[in-house]
A and B are shown apart, each in its own frame.
Chain A
């Protein structure tokens, strides 16, 4: 072994710990930066994530039950409509917050301003910058989802209470779903050119939400078998069903093992896709 090789080897051995702290500090720095930016816009953040569930609950569980003659939609769902809606609205909140927290800012940061540059030049591998984006967005998604619970208690004519039996399951589903939404946001933000972001909202985000078993349980689709199979390719389905299993287990839902398996699958798939797209955008 030559002197040079030995010196290199020693540096590597001593360097592993050093490398890990460097990595963690940089990652933490990126997280702090995002927290600072978010803290400047707490109100817009709350409005962004709160408006949709607020109005939804207000219209469907407050106004409609009071309408003369009753409302066919709410009636169709029966008394359990609120219970069906709660996890669904949480899923929508997770999903929209993931897109809003990653896809929209990324598309401008990649665009003319190239603001992402300084963060890409951090002393961490570039994929870590993408992972930080996903995980920070997940934090926002979790807050957004939890905000729906008090709203569901206060707004409807008959309060909708969550029936959480398995807290571990709730935590697992929340975290995985939020990461999944962040990964989807990353994939959209780094693959779609900024000028098409609005279009993507209409042709991808809105359809996968409406067909994501958000306003009805998956089991309810049994009379439309082709649709019941087709929606299995939609990751939002597993977010809604997972939350149903965790928050309102009384409502029919998919088996938990299948939900967790599918969430893992889509998380890995979209995560890889998003990180690959991110790398392509910043390294030529």
Chain B
């Protein structure tokens, strides 16, 4: 087991007491890409912070390849690579030097560090920009340098916190393939995200967190099968007051799992939307149907199913 999290909690004491992590258990296997999916403030960064020795847990333990991250922080740091949520490249150094000195911090000799840095520049298609400074790089390039730097000392596991935050779609796809390439080198990846497409596309297994708790854990397919094999139909109505009566009517339709009034109208979960749609529309039309949205089964519907909230609310 590469990452072993047991009964982890983190409480920020202060004017306002915040329970950021509330009893998380997790095991990540060698070679896996694991995605931690959750909305803002779910406790993703805090969990990663504890795993990467930057945050002290209130209780519980984290072991990286058997090494306790609190008791043996310095040794644990040799085994992990970190790409934080924000750009932390050393602004006083060039791109090459960012990689080179990172290697030196981890005990590489001059020759080894030079060779490794040049290899990484080539691997991440950065050779042309080796003498640029971090402030001259676009967000996507800077992110690639950060990933290259994080794996420069050949860690066993790489932690990526919101790796695609602020990236344009093209850079995001480039980042995804860079992460998938790492699997070939045998590096285990733990990433956090609040984009469900990202978790779905990239991860072998996903953990859904909210309010510091792990709500569900499994492969994207398994989560969809277990919690959200239903299509979601969102109806926006002009007259919300009558939504409950429509809900009662819709619940009687074949294939409908549930129907609940929402702030703007009605939300229907159904096993198959196709034949159902006309009937649902007919039932709601008298309340002034102004919009209808259909979401195919996805981690998004899984999340809504589990929390009753949208991921981006």
Contacts and interface: CB of A to CB of B under 8 A. Distances in A.
B104 A33 contact: yes
Most-contacted residue by chain A among B77, B91, B149 (CB, 10 A): B77
B101 A114 contact: no
B49 interface: yes
B88 A29 contact: no
A255 to B, nearest CB: 42
Contacts of A32: 101, 104
Contacts of A125: 73-74
Interface string A100-132: 000000000000011101111111111000000
Interface residues of B, number: 31
Nearest to B75: A123
Contacts of B107: 21-22, 25-26, 29, 123
A123 B154 CA distance: 13
Nearest to B56: A283
A118 B52 CA distance: 12
Contacts of A203: none
A28 interface: yes
Interface residues of A, number: 30
Interface string A38-56: 0010000000000000000
B311 to A, nearest CB: 26
Interface string B160-190: 0000000000000000000000000000000
B98 to A, nearest CB: 8
A201 B52 CA distance: 35
Contacts of B93: 33, 36-37
Interface in B1-60: 12, 49, 52-56
A284 B49 contact: yes
Contacts of A29: 101, 104-107
Contacts of B97: 36
A123 B105 contact: yes
B84 interface: yes
A119 to B, nearest CB: 7
B77 A284 contact: no
A284 B56 contact: yes
Contacts of B106: 25-26, 29, 122-123
Interface string A8-36: 00000000000101110110111011001
A32 B107 CA distance: 12
B90 interface: yes
A282 interface: yes
B102 A118 contact: yes
Contacts of A117: 82, 84, 88
A270 to B, nearest CB: 25
Given A19-B75, A22-B74, A114-B86, 12 more contacts: A22-B107, A25-B107, A26-B105, A32-B104, A33-B93, A36-B97, A37-B92, A115-B92, A121-B77, A123-B75, A123-B77, A125-B73
23 contacts: A23-B74, A25-B104, A26-B106, A26-B107, A28-B104, A29-B101, A33-B93, A114-B84, A114-B86, A115-B89, A115-B91, A115-B92, A117-B84, A117-B88, A118-B88, A120-B54, A121-B54, A121-B82, A122-B77, A123-B74, A282-B54, A283-B56, A284-B49
